[in-house]
């Protein structure tokens, strides 16, 4: 019998902010080829049987938008999957948990009183959605990765790790204070945005992908609680834990395409 047809022919971009979040991925590529463009290294090849482009956004919304645009314009990707870490804002979102983004808001965007707070001017919208189908696959991949967690060491370190699905806030600020994160969360909630986590790139990539009609999904492992110890928790998690989650999730995800 013939194997089932694969859904994917064009490469999938696997995007992270930092090299530590993709540690070990380049070594797993078959037929790896490096292309340097716009001050960034893009790695093309086959990962777990699927054509991929590995890329780093660097940190912040502008840098992320540049990488996303390059992935689309130069490498022709039709789907971008972000894997990285975030600070937990939702009450039940703990270090070691995983958040799959349904949509994004820019928490530092404020063109009021010309436009409502958080609204992106001239887009007529505040929130940018992830692609529903791609996000459903990513959610399934995370559940699979956590279920198989003992193999990758995830459940040994974080036996209570849970997966959440919801809104992520992005902004050009590392949130590292309990008072600040509470204020951020309540300001957003007051405008009707119940956020689960905060990071620095997702909303920018979502906006680029909307403009180009490219599918986008994102998964963030919680490295810190955006509180007074975030500046200690974040680097430790990024160095020691983040790529283990990324490998487990991306392997499951690519098998679903």
The β-bridge partners of 222 are 86
- Which residue, 50 or 58, is less far from ligand ADE as judged by CB? 58
DSSP element (H, E) containing 94: none
- Which residue, 47 or 99, is less far from ligand ADE as judged by CB? 99
Query: At closest approach, how far in Å is the CB of 222 from ligand ADE?
Result: 8
Write the binding mask 80 to 119 for ligand ADE: x where contact by CB under 6 A, - elsewhere. -----xxx--------------------------------
- Which residue, 75 or 174, is less far from ligand ADE as judged by CB? 174
In order of 10, 109, 208, the CA distances from 27 in angstroms are: 21, 38, 29
Residues within window 142-181 making contact with ligand ADE, judged by CB under 6 A: 174-176
Structure tokens at 226: 């955006």
Give the β-pairing of 79-88 and 215-224: parallel
Active site residue 224: yes
DSSP line for 176-216: --HHHHHHHHHHHHHTT--EEEEESSHHHHHHHHHHHT-EE
Q: Is 195 in the site for ligand ADE (CB under 6 A)?
A: no
Structure tokens at 116: 């409502």
Write the binding mask 218 to 237 for ligand ADE: x where contact by CB under 6 A, - elsewhere. -----xx-x---x---x---
Structure tokens at 130: 């992830």
Q: Is 202 in the site for ligand ADE (CB under 6 A)?
A: no
Q: Which residues are catalytic?
A: 21, 224
Positions that interact with ligand ADE (CB under 6 A): 85-87, 174-176, 198-200, 223-224, 226, 230, 234
């Amino acid at each position: 019998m013939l194997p089932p047809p694969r859904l994917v022919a064009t490469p999938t971009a696997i995007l992270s902010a930092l090299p530590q979040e993709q540690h070990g991925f380049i070594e797993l590529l078959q037929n790896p080829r490096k292309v340097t463009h716009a001050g960034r290294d893009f790695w093309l090849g086959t990962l777990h049987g699927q054509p991929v482009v590995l890329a780093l956004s660097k940190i912040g919304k502008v840098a992320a938008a540049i990488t996303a645009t390059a992935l689309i314009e130069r490498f022709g990707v039709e789907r971008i999957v972000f894997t990285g870490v975030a600070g937990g804002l939702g009450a039940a979102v703990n270090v070691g948990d995983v958040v799959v983004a349904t949509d994004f808001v820019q928490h530092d965007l404020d063109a009021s009183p010309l436009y409502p707070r958080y609204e992106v001017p001239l887009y007529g919208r505040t929130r940018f959605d992830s692609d529903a189908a791609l996000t459903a696959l990513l959610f399934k991949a995370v559940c699979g990765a956590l279920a198989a967690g003992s193999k990758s060491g995830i459940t040994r370190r974080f036996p209570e790790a849970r997966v959440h699905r919801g809104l992520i806030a992005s902004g050009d600020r590392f949130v590292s204070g309990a008072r600040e994160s509470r204020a951020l969360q309540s300001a957003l909630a007051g405008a009707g945005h119940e956020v689960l986590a905060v990071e620095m790139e997702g909303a920018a990539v979502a906006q680029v992908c909307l403009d180009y009609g490219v599918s986008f999904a994102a998964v963030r492992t919680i490295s810190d609680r955006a509180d007074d110890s975030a500046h200690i928790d974040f680097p430790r998690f990024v160095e020691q834990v983040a790529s283990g989650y990324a490998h487990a999730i991306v392997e499951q995800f690519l098998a679903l395409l």
